[in-house]
Amino acid sequence: MDNLDKKYKLTKYACYVTYIGQAITICLSAVLFITFRELYGISYTLLGLLPFFNFFAQLSIDLIFSFFSKHFNIESITRLSPVFLALGLTVYALGPLFFPRFAYFWIAFGTVIYSVAAGLAEVLVSPTVAAIPSDNPEREMSKLHSLYAWGAVLVIVVSTVFIRFFGADKWHVLALVWCIVPAVSLVLFMLGKMPPMSGGISREKEKRADVLKGIIPFVLCILLGSAAENTMSQWCSGFAEKALGLPKVIGDLLGMSLFMVMLGLARSLYAKYGKNIEKIIIAGFIGATACYLIISTVNSQAVSLAACVICGFFVSMLWPGTLIWVEKDFPKCGVAVYALLAAGGDLGGSVSPLIVGKIADLISENPQAVLYAEKINMTPDELGLKIAMLAAAIFPAAGIVLAMTLAKKSRTTSTEKIDKK
């Protein structure tokens, strides 16, 4: 096995670097939200559209490859997937530099292009690692997915430090610097050996309608979990700066980056010690709801920032935990089911940050809300973001009810199976 591992080592490393690249697609714009608003006058609503474009593009890739993957050359597309990230970052950086009047168009266009790379990584990189022979495939897969969180910490810290020392107006250079990551993964893919993979789709035809009917609540569960996670990951930096009045470097390093640290830490702990996924998901939704309520209602900077960070721990298993739960209740349910779950997660991750941005704009631009903000010694942006985060608490709150209902149903189903035996 050691000799076999050496043949695929470069490919495995390419997959690891690609997942770090996926963190760039999610976190870079979140760090630059306020920079874009101040440099180009972009509204919160349009800023909220950027993660919507990101996840919608990923959702499209998920569905295309889930149902039509047999028509593609999987090996070639996997090798070339980093090209989309490099191309997207280049458009993202240079478009606003040369055409500042149309800055948002180029930022959005670049986002869509590099989001294709994220979608391809979501669809192709995991099966590539799974296809590489290993003595402990679960460990390899866990290592791969943990790199997203740790890659996000790297992106946030490096980007924040860069902006702090070189200035927000040099953000174009920062985006181009991150092109190093897809360049490295592209070289590794070209030098490495690809494992054999099938582009076909395994489908569970027997009792398909019953299976899909049972899966729908889990799709909603992963949608709510993704919404709770991605609302915070996308708006944590901007909220800390505009609603809490913290310097950007503090908001990014002690807010957004520590959120990702908690996300990675919790997932690593579950990979090593985890069990009882139903209870963990319920607890995660409860904890996330509490964090959103604290963030939006407590006036203490320290308490609110701590809630932003701790929220990362609670939301960490809502997406991957739902996948584990589905596999437990519907073993060998087929790729189509996982595509449906991924669609739910991407939909939640795209819609929720957009809703927060829209609510923040509506409140901060409302004359009556502006007057009310003055009376309670808040800025319009602060009031708008706090109310938007309060509204976002509906996602994890609804998740509590849904997860409890699913847990009760799962226990009933398990009891029936035991009685039949």
d(CA 223, CA 130): 25
The domains of the chain are located at 1-200, 202-421
Asked if 345 and 225 touch (Cβ cutoff 8 Å), the reply is yes
| End-to-end alpha carbon distance in the chain | 40
d(CA 62, CA 66): 6
Neighbours of 400 (CB within 10 A): 18
Asked if 231 and 392 touch (Cβ cutoff 8 Å), the reply is yes
Angle at alpha carbon of residue 183, lines to 23 and 104, rounded to 5°: 55
Residue with the two structure tokens 């020392």: 165
pLDDT at residue 34, rounded to an integer: 83
Q: Who contacts 234 (Cβ-Cβ below 8 Å, separation ≥6)?
A: 26, 29, 30, 33, 48, 51, 353, 356
If we measure between CA atoms, which residue out of 182, 228, 233, 173 comes closest to residue 50? 233
pLDDT at residue 171, rounded to an integer: 95
Q: What is the pLDDT along the chain (421 residues), one digit of tens a residue?
A: 445 556 688 998 999 999 899 899 988 988 888 889 889 999 888 887 888 888 888 888 877 876 666 677 778 888 889 999 999 999 999 999 999 999 999 999 999 999 999 888 877 777 777 678 776 555 666 677 778 888 988 998 899 889 889 998 999 999 999 999 999 999 999 988 888 765 444 444 445 555 667 888 999 999 999 999 989 988 887 888 887 888 877 777 778 788 989 988 988 888 777 778 899 999 999 999 999 999 999 988 889 989 999 999 999 989 888 877 887 777 655 556 766 787 888 889 888 988 998 899 899 889 998 899 888 888 888 899 999 999 999 999 999 999 999 998 876 655 444 445 4
What is the gyration radius of the CA atoms in the chain, in angstroms?
21
pLDDT at residue 49, rounded to an integer: 86
Q: Is the dihedral of CA 363, 369, 371, 376 positive or negative?
A: negative
Instruction: Tally the C-alpha atoms within 13 A of residue 332's C-alpha that lie toward its C-beta.
Output: 5
Query: What one-character-per-residue DSSP string does 46-66 give?
Result: HHHHHHHHHHHHHHHHHHHHH
Asked if 174 and 159 touch (Cβ cutoff 8 Å), the reply is yes
- Do the first three CATH levels of 1-200 and 202-421 match, i.e. the same topology? yes
Give the 3-state secondary structure of residue 334: strand
pLDDT at residue 421, rounded to an integer: 47
Q: Classify each residue of 197-214 as buried b or exposed e, where b means 16 or more C-beta atoms within 10 Å of its C-beta.
A: bebeeeebeeeeeebbeb
Angle at alpha carbon of residue 116, lines to 110 and 121, rounded to 5°: 130
202-421 to CATH, choices 3.40.47.10, 2.40.160.20, 1.20.120.330, 1.20.1250.20? 1.20.1250.20
DSSP state of 123: I
Query: What one-character-per-residue DSSP string does 15-44 give?
Result: HHHHHHHHHHHHHHHHHHHHHHHHHH---H
pTM, 2 dp: 0.76
pLDDT at residue 136, rounded to an integer: 58
The CATH architecture one would assign to domain 1-200 is: Up-down Bundle (1.20)
